[in-house]
Amino acid sequence: MPFQDIPIVSEHDVSTLMQRLLKEKRSARAFQERKHEDWNDNYELYRNKVKTNRLTQRQTVNIPLMKETIKTLLSKIDDAPIIDWKEKDGNVDKEIILQEIWNDDFDRLNLEGLDIQDKKNTLLYGRGTKLLNIDKKGLDIRAMDAFDVVYDPIMDPLDVETARFVVLQNIYRSLREILADPRYSKEGKDALRIWALSREGIVQSEKNKEALEKKNERLRSMGVQSDQFALFAGGDVIVNLTQHLTTSWDEKEKKWERRGVTYADDQHELLNKPLMELIGVDFWPLVTWGEDIETNDVWSDGPADLVRVPNQILNIWFSQLVENRTLKNFQMYWYDATLQGFKPQSYTPAPGRMIPAPGDPNKTVMPFNIGGLDDTLTAIDFVIKMVERGSAATAIEKGVSEKKQITLGEVEMLVGKALERTVAMAKFYRRSWFDLAVKWERLMHANTFGPRTLHKISRSGKMWPKTVYSNDWKSEKGFKPLVRSSSEQEEEQTKGIQKFMFIKSQFPGNIALDRISQKRMLEIVDLTPEEIREVEEEQKKLQQGQQQQQIPQLGGAQVTQPQIRQPEVRQPEVTQPQVKETDEEEEQLLGELDKKLTKVGR
């Protein structure tokens, strides 16, 4: 959906600051708008929307190559990673509290759903952006639409902090909502009220409504559910706000200062304050990442750009194949128009119907020759495989076998090769979550929030509430997040179990080693603490029962063995001193094994 051009505002009508902000916004938008046409095509192919024409594609058919490629890659990037917090001074109590606050925000803000939106934006448009903000409920995080944020063109694609400015645009609010907001200046609201009721303001409001509706349609298709979709009534005046994050020189402090400026319809300044005063920090409250990073272009290509043109070619070929079969099914005929008295008539097909023709039918009428397109499906299959090789979303990754018979080794090899090509994407993805966690912690530390009631599950499975305050977790040394992929964590646990099984094979019958390996196995399975405790207690009962059975058998052998004196049996005599000597050797051996296992565990 291409955006409306920025309204041309006379330099005499705006302040010097607004003139500079509009120049920054124009340069950033121009740098991004070169990608809008491609982004629109990617979006329409993903939504199975097709543009028809009278020459190449006359049928509304679409091969869902774009959707299946994006969904396959989306499943390979991995789920939202696990964040573990470590206090730099080693305070475990503060670590536990901050960890529970993060877990609570993860559920409250639905960061798992936000993660899917962010990854989908990256795959479709080449770059995803997450915005951190502070509202009445606390800290808020949202996934930004690629059309709604523009960056400094000379920014380092790997570091958003190198940008001189970042512009958040297309923020649609009703006039009455803006006038009721106490954060905005009275002068700005008065000027906006007068302009909104003028003829130019009414026309701009209608354009804003149309743009807002198109934006909401795209957001719904991306899976975004918002309570603001039906917020505006038909008679509301809609204003397009811009939040401009820029760097300005502070003449008083003699240093560069980052500020946040909000203005309406590129004319009326509503808010202009330092970031330290607005959110308590001096960094850009955004996290951005890309799939195919360039050195000098922040708007790099994404996987959808690779799929777009082949998908369009496939749609044209498939449309022609469908139309070809339709024309062949029509069974059109040539006829001799010079033949006197012959008036060709259409007929209704029916079994055994006889159609009259004057004279020799071969000389009077002739079938309309429509050649077949038998090689179309072969060409389509060739293009699909070409796209799969380029995007690493192979048929195996999609759950489809290319051959009827394929060995297990071939499957593992193909899957392994495809996973190797998605590793680079996962690296940038995990780094974005690290940056998000760091900025989340710094925003939490810089702002004062009220008490929070957290809930912790004990080892017994019972949930305990606890009210915490900012002083309970804030640290002078700070915290460091450890980002771990869920799949990597499971892989490490599985490898750990395999190592334990190997050690068990080297030390058979070692009770301590059996107990440790069983505990590690139970930790991998998704069991509650109460279930784990139940399994451990049952295992202890089984071991005690086995020991009680072995003691009577050993005592019975000592009593009954001397009474057997039949020479035919010839049972060897086992004396009591030999039994004691064997027990002492076993105890000594078990003691040495326990010492070795303790060193290995450390």
Tens digits of residue pLDDT in 334-368: 777 777 777 777 766 666 666 677 777 777 777 76
d(CA 61, CA 314): 10
Q: Where are the beta strands (DSSP E) in 28-164?
A: 82-87, 127-135, 138-144, 149-151
**Radius of gyration over every alpha carbon of the chain, rounded to an integer in angstroms:** 36
267: its two tokens: 């004319």
* In a domain? residue 265: no
The single residue listed with the structure tokens 């001074």 is 89
**Checking DSSP bridges between strand 286-290 and strand 238-250, what pairing results, if any?**
unpaired
DSSP state of 349: -
Q: Is 280 exposed, middle or buried (0-12, 13-18, 19+ CB in 10 A)?
A: middle
* In a domain? residue 555: no
Q: Taking the alpha carbons of 501, 502, 503, 506 in that order, is the dihedral positive or negative?
A: positive
d(CA 21, CA 283): 19
* In a domain? residue 164: no
Grouping H, G, I as helix, E, B as strand and the rest as coil, residue 6 is coil
H helix or E strand, kind and range, residue 162 = none
- Residue 137: HSE in the Cβ half-sphere, 13 Å Cα cutoff: 6
Q: Residue 459, Cβ neighbours under 10 Å: how many? A: 10
Task: Give how many domains the chain has, as a whole number.
Answer: 1
Query: pTM of the prediction?
Result: 0.70
* In a domain? residue 524: yes
Q: What are phi and psi of 89, to 5 degrees?
A: -100, 5
Residues of the chain with pLDDT under 70: 1-14, 197, 199-209, 212-235, 347-355, 368-370, 372-376, 382, 386-424, 458-461, 486-494, 523-530, 550-602
Q: Which residues make beta-bridge pairs with 151?
A: 166
Q: Closest Cα to residue 454, out of 108, 119, 172?
A: 108
pLDDT value of residue 353: 60
For 399-422, the DSSP string reads T--SSSS--HHHHHHHHHHHHHHH
**In this structure, are residues 239 and 178 in contact, taking their beta carbons and an 8 Å threshold?**
yes
Note down the domain range covering 600: 489-546+582-602
pLDDT value of residue 107: 92
Grouping H, G, I as helix, E, B as strand and the rest as coil, residue 353 is coil
Grouping H, G, I as helix, E, B as strand and the rest as coil, residue 152 is coil
Q: Where are the beta strands (DSSP E) in 226-342?
A: 238-250, 255-264, 268-274, 286-290, 333-335
pLDDT value of residue 358: 72
d(CA 264, CA 242): 6
Residue 331 region, left (φ>0) first, then alpha (ψ -120 to 50), else beta? left
